[in-house]
Amino acid sequence: MTASPDKAQFLTAIEVGAEDWALPDAPLAMPEQDLAPRPFLLARLFRPARATVRA
Amino acid sequence: MALAAGIAAGLMFLQYASASRLSHWAGVAAVLLTVSTCWLAWGAMLGLIGLWPALPRPPESRVIAGRTVIVMPVCNEDAVTTFARVAAMHRQLSDSPAMIDFAILSDTRSAEGARAEEAALRLLRAETAGRGGRIHYRRRAQNTGRKAGNVGEFIRRSGAAWDHALVLDADSLIESETVLAMIRRMEAAPTLALLQTLPRVVRARSLFGRAMQFSAAFHGPVFTRGLARMQGTTGPYWGHNALIRIRAFAECCGLPDLPGKPPFGGHILSHDYVEAALLARGGWVVRVDPDLGGSYEEAPENLVEHAKRDRRWCQGNLQHARLLRTAGLRFWSRATLFQGILAYVSSGLWAAFLVTAVLAGVWQSAPDYFPGIIMTYDDTIRFLPVFPSDESVRALGLLIGIFGLLLLPKILVAVEAAVTGRLTGFGGWRGIGAVAAELALSALIAPVLMAFQVRSLIQILSGRDGGWPPNLRGDGRMTLAESWSAARFMTLWALAALAAVQILAPGQLPWLLPVLLPMALAPVLIALTSRPAPRTFATPEDRQRPAILALHDTILDRWHAAA
C-alpha cells in the first residue's frame, strides 16, 4: 500500500499513540512573496511613459 | 554622526600616514578605516540613544479574546530538557484567563532522536493530563525550508485555528505574566503584527558564557531601547520569543527560495529579518518592547560553539545582499538588512585595514632630509636638513578615538545602571568590577572572533555552504586538543603575520601585538574560557532565580529521577 503524500511527509503524534495530540486541520493560505528587486531609478522614471503608450 | 566619525578617523589616518610620502596602500587603508569606524560609531549611537529610561507603559488589563498557540520548533535537541520547558510553561499557564495551546514542531531527522522525543512526549502527556491548553506534536520527515519552513508548514496546515502564535526556540522559556501581557498588547493594537521581547540569557556556566550572559543582561536593555527608538514601528524580529499575528504573518511572510545554489541562493537562512521587513511592507507594525521581562534563552558556552552559530548567521546575513533592493521595503527594513551585512563584513574590513596599514608602512619612502636648497639672507647657499614631523601623537589619538567608540557607550551604560539603581541587581559596586572584567575579556577575545568571522567570509564568498549544524547545548567545556583543532588556523595566520611584520615593518609590531597575540594564543583562550566559572559575572537572575526556571528545574529533576 502506498502512503498518502501527507502520511509520508508528516509523522504526527498518532504514530506515537497519542491521538489527541495531532495538529488540527485548519489551513491558512500563505502565498509566496515577491522578492524581486525594484527597478533602478532610470527604469522607474521611464516606466510611466511606457504605461501611457500601452494605455 | 556615525558617518562624521568615520570620515574623521580616515582623515586622521591619512595625516598620520603623510608623515612620509603617501602610498596607494595608505589611501586604501584610510577608506577601510572610514567604513569600519562608521560601523563602530553606529553601534555606539544605538547605546547613546538608549541611555534615557523609557516611561513605563500603563498595564493592560483587558479581557483576552483571541486564541494563542505557543510554537516550539525543535531539531535534534535534548528531548527531555526541551519538552520539560513546555511542561513548565503549560503548568504556569494552566489557570490563565486565556485560551493558550502548545505546538511542538519537530524537524528531528535521526531515528534515535525521534524515539527520544516520543518518550519525552509520554512524560509530557502524564505531566499535563487534565489541565490547561492542548499540546500538539508533529514531526516532519523532510525538514524542507528548515525553521522557517517548519513554522510555515504549521501555519499552512493549522494556522487558522489560532489568532496569535508565540514563536519560541527550543531553549526558550517565558513567564506566564509575560505571555499574557504580550497578548493584551497585541489585542490593544490592531495593526501590531509582531511583538518582540528582549530575551535574557540564562544558565551560562563557563567563563565565556557568563561574560556573554552578563553583557547581554547589563548592556542589552539599553542598546535594545536605542534600537526601539531608532526603528519605531519597523522594529526587529529575532526569530523567537516573539508574538506574531498569524493572519498577518500568513498574508506577508511566505518565503520563496532564492534562485541559484547556496550559499547565496536556496532557502533564506536568516528568515527573521526578512519576515519583519515583509510585515512592515504589508503595512503592519513590528515592534520590540524592551520593558517586557520574563523572557529567557540560553547561549553558547564556548567560543567555538559561538563561532559555529555565527557562521550560520554570517551566511544568512550575506544572503540578504540579494534582498536589499526588494521592491516596496521600508527604509528601516533595508537599513536593518544592510546593518546585518555590515556586521559581518566589518570583520573583513578591519582585517583588510590591518594588512593594508602594514603594507603602507612597508611601501612608504625613506624620509628626504634635504629636500631643497635654502638661500640665506647673506646669499649663501646652505643645505638645511628637514626632519619629518612626528605623527605618532595623531596615531595615538586615532587609537584612543576608536577605543572611545567601543568603550564610551559601555561606560555610560554603567553610569545609567548606577543612577537608575539597576546596578543593585548585578551586585552593586561589584557590578562595576564585572563591567571592567567583561571589557577586558571582550578585548582579548575580539581578535579571535574577528578571525573566525574572516574565515567564514572567505568560505561563503568562495561559495561554500555551511549548512545548519545543530546547536550543542550542555556544559560546553573544551580540552586544549579540541581547541587547537578548531583554532589552529588562526594560530598559524598570527604566527605568519608576526614573522612578516617583524621582517618587513618591525616598527609596526607594537601596534599589531594586541590583535596578533590573542590570535596566536587562541586555542589556550578557547580552552580556558570554556571552563566553569559559576561565581563570576553575577546577574539579577543569579540572585533571584525566575519562577519559570525554577519550575523547569523541578520538572526536569522529576523526569530524570523517573527515567
Residue A2 — pLDDT band, cuts 50, 70, 90?
Answer: very low
β pairing state of B173-174 and B135-140? unpaired
Q: Give CA–CA dist B221/B365, Å, rounded.
A: 50
One-letter identity of residue B300: P
Q: What is the pLDDT of residue B529?
A: 97
Tell me, yes or no, if the pTM score tops 0.90. Answer: no
C-alpha distance from A46 to closest chain B C-alpha (Å) = 17
Comparing CA positions, the residue from B242, B176, B180, B226 lying closest to residue B551 is B176
Burial (CB < 10 A; 0-12, 13-18, 19+), residue B417, is buried
Whole-angstrom CA distances from B49 to B65, B143, B230, B331 are: 36, 41, 8, 19
Residues shown for chain B: 563
Comparing CA positions, the residue from B356, B224, B238 lying closest to residue B297 is B238
Q: Which residues of A touch B142 (CB under 8 A)?
A: 9
Higher pLDDT, B130 or B420: B420
C-alpha distance from B390 to closest chain A C-alpha (Å) = 48
Nearest to B138 among A22, A29, A34 (CB): A22
Report the range of poorest mean pLDDT among B42-46, B254-258, B317-321, B339-343: B42-46
Give the count of beta carbons closer than 10 Å to the beta carbon of residue B532. 16
* Cα angle, residue B11 at apex, residues B51 and B8 outer, rounded to 5°: 15
Residues shown for chain A: 55
Report pLDDT digits (tens) over B66-88. Answer: 999 999 999 999 999 999 999 99
- What lies within 8 Å, CB to CB, of B353 at 6+ separation is B29, B32, B33, B36
Q: Give CA–CA dist B277/B279, Å, rounded.
A: 6
- What lies within 8 Å, CB to CB, of B539 at 6+ separation is B200, B213, B214, B217, B218, B425, B426
Q: What is the pLDDT of residue B467?
A: 61
Q: What is the pLDDT of residue B338?
A: 94
Residue B198 — pLDDT band, cuts 50, 70, 90?
Answer: very high
Q: What is the pLDDT of residue A14?
A: 45
Mutate to test the interface with A, among B102, B125, B273, B333 (most CBs of A within 10 A): B125
Q: Give CA–CA dist B214/B384, Å, rounded.
A: 60
Mutate to test the interface with A, among B138, B270, B278 (most CBs of A within 10 A): B138
Nearest to A23 among B103, B252, B254 (CB): B103
3-state per-residue secondary structure call for B142-207: CCCCHHHHHHHHHHHHHHHHCCEEEECCCCCEECHHHHHHHHHHHHHCCCEEEEECCCEECCCCEH
Q: Is the separation of the CB atoms in B382 and B374 below 8 Å?
A: yes
Question: The complex's ipTM?
Answer: 0.79
Q: Which residues of B touch A5 (CB under 8 A)?
A: none
Higher pLDDT, A35 or A40: A35
Q: Is the separation of the CB atoms in B263 and B464 below 8 Å?
A: yes
pLDDT of B465 above 70: yes
Q: What is the pLDDT of residue B277?
A: 97
DSSP A7-52: HHHEEEGGGGT-GGGSPP------PBP--PBPPPHHHHHHHHHHHH
Q: Give CA–CA dist B184/B166, Å, rounded.
A: 13
Q: What is the pLDDT of residue A15?
A: 47
Q: How many CB pairs below 8 Å do chains A and B form together?
A: 102
B154/A27 touch (CB, cutoff 8 Å), yes or no: no
Interchain CB contact of B133 with A (< 8 Å): no
C-alpha distance from B97 to closest chain A C-alpha (Å) = 22
Residue A49 — pLDDT band, cuts 50, 70, 90?
Answer: low
Nearest to A22 among B136, B160, B326 (CB): B136
pLDDT of B353 above 60: yes
Sheet hosting strand B173-174, strand order edge to edge: B173-174, B295-297, B200-201
Q: What is the pLDDT of residue B133?
A: 85
